[in-house]
A and B are shown apart, each in its own frame.
Chain A
């Protein structure tokens, strides 16, 4: 069992559709980060959410941090093929000296 559980593990949608990816934990995090990873590359940071209830927008991507700071979601509006990739959430785990802990990832495929 991972500290950060992501769902779904895989998502395949058509261009123009919306999608939501979830990141859940039973532990409270001081912050959560979202990364996107493309094949053959390292993950790239998209956003960090810090305050419970916080909503951040990055063009068509909307990130939300749960009020209790135990969960987060990523919503993509009108997905495009360029959104295809592996989406990872991560956060500093206090009980482990704030080491950055990652979820298992959600693989998103946007078909043209």
Chain B
């Protein structure tokens, strides 16, 4: 157990509203990631962070922003939710350098109606 907690676990929101998902870790690991998972696409990287206030874009970052003001928290914000952002969102951490083994949270199922 890598001590990763995602909240909320489920959310339904309306198109056009902002949504923030939270990832909290208890182990003080440097690298944190946000992925989305959709059928047929596996896991796709949205944003990642390699330290406090150090973040970078992944392959599907449009429409998303992130913030990391503390080592233990990594927030993902959908600035104006769209139906195409309906997905399951996973937070992950890496113990060592980027690209090494990842440990995942339990996911947040987001539905945009």
A interface vs B, CB < 8 Å? 2, 6, 9, 30, 33, 40-45, 48, 88, 90-93, 96-105
Contact = CB atoms under 8 A, between A and B. Distances in A.
Given A90-B102, A93-B99, A98-B99, 19 more contacts: A9-B40, A33-B102, A42-B90, A42-B104, A43-B43, A43-B102, A45-B102, A48-B101, A88-B42, A92-B100, A99-B45, A99-B48, A99-B99, A100-B98, A100-B99, A100-B100, A100-B102, A102-B43, A104-B40
Interface of B: 33, 35, 40-45, 48, 56, 58-59, 90, 92, 94, 97-107
19 contacts: A2-B42, A30-B99, A33-B101, A33-B102, A41-B107, A42-B104, A45-B102, A90-B43, A92-B100, A97-B56, A99-B58, A99-B98, A100-B33, A100-B98, A100-B100, A102-B42, A103-B42, A104-B41, A104-B42
Nearest to A48: B101
Nearest to B9: A40
Contacts of A88: 42-43
Nearest to B45: A99
